[in-house]
């Protein structure tokens, strides 16, 4: 019997074939889904379609109880190594309560493909302000969208108020063919089919703030300083945009946070769960009730004293933060302010919320990651010497006092970002190109040992004739 260098033995042909069968069985249990399908048990309610019971309330795959018993799933696409469906039967007696609301699924990145139910007709173009390169790209793109694609183009009114644009004859000529809007005055949610950003990461954050409910697919071209969230180059914009308009694109669903600032003794503060708070309950919607793309930051502001705030998770006080403040971020925001404060970098497809202290006055206070959907509440501690300040994606900064609360959870409306390659390549490429992740000089190889008495003695090859 031949042996391997690590002391193990080689597998026989029969063992190899059995391993191949086992591997295929494991892969067959992987769930690969299309986000337009359903994933439910027969007990979930709904109707039978071709012998399979379906539900329309939740966008998941359909399966039957017989398929669950056999560990097989209906596949809407090729096999994938992602999207594992956890087995919710634990031993001979235990299982998770048979309820559709508690079904566990892990999204399959390879299945998140863009699907247009009807051809997109309207497009919102957001450009970086006061930038000559962005202006040149803006005029080229808008002219092409109007003349070649016959699309209605929306642009913020402030773009044409900029002196750089008003002095450009091409830009002035296009103004008559473009529909304009004003932030906080015009509602865009049901008017826009597609969003294109020309600029840096800030343009994508701004685009997110314009849609406080369902957001259209967004395609971001890198014309800024960092470009971590903008994977597309403008050189071949016609071919790239055409591919997206034809539905040949992958999506990355970037989670957002629902943040509600509740003042002491207000009506909103009496609502038990932040998920139940609707925007109609907010008196100043743009200031106190927002969907946040990157992070919610609570800090000490200009006060010289430590920030003293209480952190609640699912209604329970978990700790009191004493330091410069606290960052509650999305997975996308984990590579922004949070990573500078020591948080781990979390892939945007991971359903999670990252809690990161800012300069805590404790050596043991480390950042933590909690499941998406938990309810987080932040309040100024009764023992605090000063108030605190809240900012949402770096905007809408406002002061909170004792009795006020900042309530946060995962929003149901993500930002559907169009991928240049795919979810994994885009993210790791951004880590390498923008943040220089794990960049260092390579270690030199071990120099070749020259045969000598000393080296021979180490290898046991001594001269027996001497």
Catalytic positions, please? Answer: 201
CA 269 to CA 279: how far, in whole Å? 14
Q: Both tokens of residue 278?
A: 């609707």
CA 188 to CA 376: how far, in whole Å? 29
Q: Which helix (H) or strand (E) holds 28?
A: helix 13-28
Number of Cβ atoms within 10 Å of the Cβ of 149: 16
320-350: string of b/e by CB count within 10 Å (b at 16+)? ebbbbbbbbbbbbbbbbbbbebebeebbbbe
Strand partners, 252: 417
Q: Both tokens of residue 463?
A: 């001269």
Parallel, antiparallel, or unpaired: how do β-strands 307-313 and 376-380 relate? antiparallel
Instruction: Enumerate residues 6+ apart whose C-beta is below 8 A from 374.
Output: 313, 314, 353, 409, 410
- SS3 assignment, position 2: coil
Which of 420, 418, 389 lies closest to 406, judged by CA?
Answer: 389
Q: What are phi and psi of 74, to 5 degrees?
A: -75, 130
Q: What are phi and psi of 460, to 5 degrees?
A: 85, 10
Number of Cβ atoms within 10 Å of the Cβ of 412: 13
Rg for the chain, CA atoms, rounded: 28
Which of 217, 187, 191 lies closest to 413, judged by CA?
Answer: 217
Strand partners, 321: 309
CA atoms in the 13 A half-sphere facing the CB of 269 = 12
Q: Both tokens of residue 110?
A: 């390879």
CA 98 to CA 310: how far, in whole Å? 36
- SS3 assignment, position 366: coil
End-to-end CA gap in the chain: 38
CA 434 to CA 234: how far, in whole Å? 18
CA 449 to CA 313: how far, in whole Å? 60
Total residue count of the chain as it appears in this document: 466
């Amino acid at each position: 019997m031949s042996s391997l260098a690590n002391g193990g033995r080689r597998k026989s042909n029969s063992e190899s074939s059995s391993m191949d069968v086992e591997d295929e069985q494991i892969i067959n249990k992987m769930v690969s889904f299309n986000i337009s399908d359903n994933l439910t048990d027969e007990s979930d309610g709904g109707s039978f379609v071709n012998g399979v019971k379906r539900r329309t309330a939740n966008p998941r795959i359909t399966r039957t109880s017989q398929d669950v018993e056999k560990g097989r799933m209906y596949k809407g696409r090729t096999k994938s190594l992602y999207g594992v469906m956890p087995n919710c039967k634990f031993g001979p007696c235990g299982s998770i309560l048979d309820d559709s609301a508690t079904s566990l699924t892990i999204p399959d990145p390879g299945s998140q493909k863009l699907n247009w139910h009807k051809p997109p007709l309207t497009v919102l173009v957001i450009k970086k302000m006061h930038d000559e390169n962005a202006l040149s790209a803006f005029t080229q793109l808008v002219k092409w969208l109007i003349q070649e694609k016959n699309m209605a183009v929306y642009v913020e009114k402030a773009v044409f108020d900029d002196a750089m644009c008003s002095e450009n004859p091409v830009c002035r000529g296009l103004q008559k063919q473009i529909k304009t809007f004003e932030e906080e005055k015009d509602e865009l949610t049901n008017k826009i089919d597609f969003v294109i950003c020309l600029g840096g990461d800030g343009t994508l954050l701004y685009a997110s703030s314009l849609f406080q409910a369902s957001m259209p697919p967004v395609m971001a071209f890198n014309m800024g300083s960092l470009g971590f969230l903008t994977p597309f180059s403008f050189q071949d914009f016609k071919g790239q945009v055409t591919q997206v308009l034809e539905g040949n694109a992958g999506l990355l669903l970037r989670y957002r946070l629902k943040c509600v600032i509740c003042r002491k003794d207000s009506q909103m503060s009496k609502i038990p769960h932040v998920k139940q708070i609707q925007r109609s309950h907010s008196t100043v919607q743009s200031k106190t009730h927002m969907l946040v793309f990157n992070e919610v930051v609570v800090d000490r502001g200009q006060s010289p004293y430590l920030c003293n705030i209480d952190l609640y998770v699912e209604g329970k006080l978990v700790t009191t933060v004493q330091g410069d403040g606290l960052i509650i971020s999305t997975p996308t925001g984990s590579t922004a302010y949070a990573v500078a404060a020591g948080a781990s970098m979390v892939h945007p497809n991971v359903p999670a919320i990252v809690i990161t202290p800012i300069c805590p006055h404790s050596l043991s206070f480390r950042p933590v990651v909690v499941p998406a959907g938990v309810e987080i509440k932040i309040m100024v501690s009764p023992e605090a010497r000063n108030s605190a300040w809240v900012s949402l994606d770096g905007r809408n900064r406002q002061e909170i006092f004792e009795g006020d609360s900042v309530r946060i959870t995962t929003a149901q409306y993500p930002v559907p970002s169009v991928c240049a390659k795919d979810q994994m390549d885009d993210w790791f490429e951004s880590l390498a190109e923008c943040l220089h992740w794990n960049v260092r000089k390579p270690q030199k190889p071990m120099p070749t040992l020259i045969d000598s008495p000393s080296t021979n003695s180490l290898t046991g090859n001594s001269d027996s004739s001497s």
